[in-house]
Amino acid sequence: MLGGWAMLVALAIGAYFADRLPMGERAATGEVSGLATASDGDSLRIDGKRVRIEGIDAPELAQTCQREGIAWQCGRQARDRLRALLSAGDIKCRFFGRDRYGRDLGACEAGGRDVGREMVLAGYAVSYGRYEAEEARAEKEKRGIWAGEFVAPQEWRRTNGQPDEAPHVIDGWIAAMRRWLLERLTALFAGIGDG
């Protein structure tokens, strides 16, 4: 039985590190390129596909933020920033699965620049599973939403009756393995606690 638990822990560690591989090293489930339009600060449309940019969360379109006590339309400005990035011409997106709303979840490049990274660096999106260093830099330099006060987009959705969106979990074998391992580890620790 001990060997089984050792295998379970090894699989959990492997799934953890596989999920954190750079996007270029993970297996893509699809790819598209062409002209794109921004739906909001973290979603776009390209070649008829709805794409949610993986690893970021931008203020919602109706969301406002505060700067020196004055409300400003941070959600609309986040969309405008994404529009500006997409105006570089041909956009290339690599997909790594779908989110729970059926959108392709992926990494996009505009003019050779990682769009998600640029949105977080500019302070118009927060890290949502990736780009932690870029978020820390934007916060330190008081860029975008970090120049004042704001409610995290996830919290804003929750308190304003919008659908909740958990940090990105890509459907596929890694997510399935993670769920399976979590169930097994939960059962293990529950058994230890009862013993």
> Are the C-beta atoms of residues 78 and 153 closer than 8 Å to each other?
no
- What is the number of structural domains in the chain? 1
Say if 29 falls within a structural domain: yes
Please indicate, yes or no, if residue 159 is contained in any of the structural domains. Answer: yes
Residue 82 in domain: yes
Please give the torsion angle defined by the CA atoms of residues 172, 176, 178 and 184, in that order, rounded to the nearest 10 degrees.
Answer: -170
Instruction: Tokens for 83, please give them.
Output: 């529009």
pLDDT at 92: 96
Predicted local confidence at residue 100, as pLDDT: 82
Q: Can you give the C-alpha Rg of the chain in angstroms?
A: 19
| Contact status, residue 98 vs residue 104, Cβ threshold 8 Å | yes
**Cα dihedral across residues 138, 143, 149, 151: positive or negative:** negative
- Model confidence at 7: pLDDT above 90: no
In a domain, 194, yes or no: no
**Does an H or E element contain 177, and which?**
helix 173-194
Whether 75 is covered by a domain: the verdict is yes
pLDDT at residue 54 in the model:
94
Tens digits of per-residue pLDDT, 52-65? Answer: 999 999 999 999 99
Global pTM?
0.72
Residue with tokens 């769920």: 179
Q: Which of 122, 117, 137 is nearest to 54 (CA)?
A: 117
What CATH number is given to the structural domain containing 115? Answer: 2.40.50.90
pLDDT in tens, 139-182: 999 999 999 999 999 999 999 887 666 565 444 445 545 545 66
Q: 65-124, pLDDT tens digit by residue?
A: 999 999 999 999 999 999 999 998 889 999 998 888 889 999 999 999 999 999 999 999
Q: Could you give the maximum distance between any two Cα atoms of the chain, in Å?
A: 62
The C-alpha atoms of residue 183 and residue 180 are separated, in whole angstroms, by 5
Does a structural domain hold residue 188?
A: no
Q: What is the residue range of 57's domain?
A: 25-171
Q: How confident is the model at residue 129 (pLDDT cuts 50, 70, 90)?
A: confident
Look up residue 119 and give its two tokens.
């949105």
Task: Give the pLDDT mean for 16-42.
Answer: 75
**Under DSSP, is residue 143 helix (H, G, I), strand (E, B) or coil?**
coil
Name the more confident of 163 and 48: 48
